[in-house]
Chains A and B, each alone.
Chain A
Amino acid sequence: MSVSDQQAAAYAALRPDLQAVADLTPPGAKVLDLGCGDGALLDFLVRHKQARGRGIELSEAGVMACVRRGLSVRQGPLEEGLADYPTASFDVVILSQTLPFLDNPAAILAEMLRVGKSALVSFPNWGYWRCRLELLLTGRVPLAPDLPQPWFDAPRWQVVSITDFAQFCQRVGIAITAEIYLNRGRRVRIIKVKNLLATTAVFRLERQAWSGQM
């Protein structure tokens, strides 16, 4: 296999939202991946986008898998790990499909934009039309299509929609400078009704004007 074939195969093997994150990561960037799991994305970025990658992961199995891939990953909670990094020490800080599980999302996002010049965030969208319909018709709290985990399973998640997140960003002075929307893994080009049609959003975030607090 040629290098480009290898790259294409590795890209195809990534989860769709991670493909979007990879697309938004500039070549050669210094990258910190929060909750990097088994390191699939970091591995791709290091091998094929010449990234200098670091990861933080809670699970022993995840860290083990990452180290076996040759990645530099620390075990521990995100809050603790982030606090150790100097300000602006990364070009990109990544948080993929982890937002609904955070105890304190506002603090984590603030920290991400402290240690990173930009942040890439992907999250499942509970504003999707079928979620709305499910709640209306069945009275049950809907499962996000891209996060099919029942409410009673650990870790607990917090329902969030694209509109919620965009309003939060506006309120705390975070600019959304790039956006990619997915519908069950397929990219969709939508402008107006994304909260209705997207099952996952991928945003690049930057500080608008740093107010020093959120």
Chain B
Amino acid sequence: MFPPNSVGLVKTQTLTFAEDEPFQLESGAALRPVTLAYETYGRLNADRSNAILICHALSGGAHAAGYLAPDDAQPGWWDDCIGPGKAFDTDRFFVICSNTLGSCYGSSGPSSVEPATGEPYGLRFPVVTIGDMVRAQVKLLDHLGIDRLLAVAGGSMGGMQVLEWAAHHPQRVRAAIPIATTARHSPMLIAFSEVGRQAIYADPAWNHGDYYTSGKRPDAGLSVARMVGHITYLSDESMQQKFGRRLQGRERYGYEFLTEFEIESYLKHNGDKFTRRFDANSYLYVTKALDYFDLAGRHGGRLAAAFDGSTELAFLVISFTSDWLYPSYHSKELVKALTAAGCDVSYLDIESSWGHDAFLVEVETMTRLLGSFLDRLAGET
């Protein structure tokens, strides 16, 4: 039914907490209650020392591996790396992935029902940060009875959560694997976030975030936001390779304003597809969380200071040569700071033409690298 190296049929679970005492957020606001959707794969060992937390990127969810139904066409978003014999080997590790706060795959976010009104929150949902997302994940670990993770890993926004774990919850983690990420969201990254948000604001159906009961969703705005996103995940070279100047389903130019080039068709298709699976308000909240992320800023402008308490952790930092969204220099600055803080750090800038998407595409290299890094950690415990 499923491929042999798949974790097979999985089920998304939920944890609800802060039902009495509200969950305090970095902004000063509070949330009550908080629900987190999560999945687990593999078995937790007797001394609870083989748990690995996977953190997802902007549009991901708790469903990282396996299939939710027997006839499910697509496995979870990181199925290539999670499963028996894969980079995160579920024969040996207990792998956890939870949907972040503010998102729309079962965790509390703007599309959740506000207890006070019985209606979806919309923009009444408080703005959350990467730090808030991670503190909610700490609650999940407490619930699962895991004192210390063997590793926390993730790419892009997932990598920021990894760094947040390492900097502010170091006693709960043995190793951190930040991939294709940054310790400080750059102005260029904020600029792209804002273009995406403006596309949503400009859609009349968005209606200041109040569209859940109107029957009209801001699909046009969200689709444009996603198209911009997709451009930033590719590279000049990967677009050349994947699409070139080829036309979609036609021989010659039509001299008209229709989707003509393959690259246009690809972006439009992905934009449309995205509106069927993601909530526009969540896009606003999650991109805002990205933009606020600045570990150095929270430690007097000195990134190394963020990791003063993290010297017991092993870091494996990975970047990709063609990633222009989170260019290698972001990772190099991180490695510099970790080195100055006295942390145990390995760093690799993987040669790839796939741009930011490489962290999902370069499976073979990642498997070889992560597999042996995790072997070493598992051998120590």
Contact = CB atoms under 8 A, between A and B. Distances in A.
B346 A84 contact: no
B340 A72 contact: no
A85 B341 CA distance: 9
B378 to A, nearest CB: 10
Interface string A57-76: 00010011011111111111
A70 B344 contact: no
A86 B342 CA distance: 8
Q: Which of B344, B349, B368, B372 has the most CB of A within 10 A?
A: B372
A74 B369 contact: no
B369 A64 contact: yes
Given A67-B369, A86-B340, A72 B346 contact: yes
B159 to A, nearest CB: 17
Interface in B333-381: 335-336, 339-340, 342, 344-351, 365, 368-369, 372-373, 375-376, 379
Contact of B348 (A60, A70, A84, A85): A60
Chain B interface, DSSP helix/strand/loop, else mixed: helix
B224 interface: no
B335 A72 contact: no
Chain A interface, DSSP helix/strand/loop, else mixed: mixed
Contacts of B339: 74, 81, 84-85
Interface in A30-83: 54, 60, 63-64, 66-76, 80-81
A33 to B, nearest CB: 13
Interface string A182-212: 0000000000000000000000000000000
Interface residues of B, number: 24
Q: Which of A63, A71, A75 has the most CB of B within 10 A?
A: A75
B346 A73 contact: yes
Contacts of B336: 84
Given A72-B314, A74-B335, A63 B348 contact: yes
B351 A74 contact: no
B368 A72 contact: no
Nearest to B331: A75
Given A84-B336, A85-B339, A86-B340, A70 B375 contact: yes
B316 A67 contact: yes
B268 interface: no
Nearest to A73: B346
B139 interface: no
Q: Which 6 A-B pairs have the closest CB atoms?
A: A70-B376, A68-B372, A84-B339, A74-B347, A84-B336, A63-B348
25 contacts: A54-B344, A63-B346, A63-B347, A63-B348, A64-B369, A67-B316, A67-B346, A67-B348, A67-B372, A67-B373, A68-B369, A70-B373, A70-B376, A72-B344, A73-B347, A74-B339, A74-B345, A75-B347, A75-B349, A80-B332, A84-B340, A85-B339, A85-B340, A86-B340, A89-B342
